[in-house]
Amino acid sequence: MKSLKLIYLIPTAFLFLAVGCTQEVLPEASFYTYEQTQCSDPWGNTNQASDLESLVQDYLSDKEIAVIESTVLVADEDAAFCAACSCPTGRTVYVKLSEVDGQKLLNLNQGWTAD
């Protein structure tokens, strides 16, 4: 009778150990940056930082890129001004993405850089 209990006990113990030791490993997340331009951003133009953040999030969502976190930082407003379409506005967009979505973003080849 003891050997019968052991036959059931050993596989059951291994099952509990196997289930208890598995842990989902989350992919690494990183920040990516984009320098807003005067008028050549793929999501359109805006002069408001809060609107810019929404436009970027909507654009990336359409590209099936999930944004974990985002923010827009504004540089010194007294900096030199350039009105050409490709000139930077002084606003930098930061997005936090998973490793997979970060690679999708970089593959778009639109001026994003890994931070």
- Between strands 113-114 and 88-98, the pairing is unpaired
pTM for this structure? Answer: 0.72
Sheet containing strand 88-98, strands side by side: 69-74, 88-98, 29-37, 113-114
Confidence of residue 21 (pLDDT cuts 50, 70, 90): low
Enter the CATH code of domain 27-114: 3.30.70
46, 67, 76 from 106: Cα distances, Å:
23, 14, 27
pLDDT at 59 over 50: yes
Confidence of residue 47 (pLDDT cuts 50, 70, 90): confident
Domain limits, the chain: 27-114
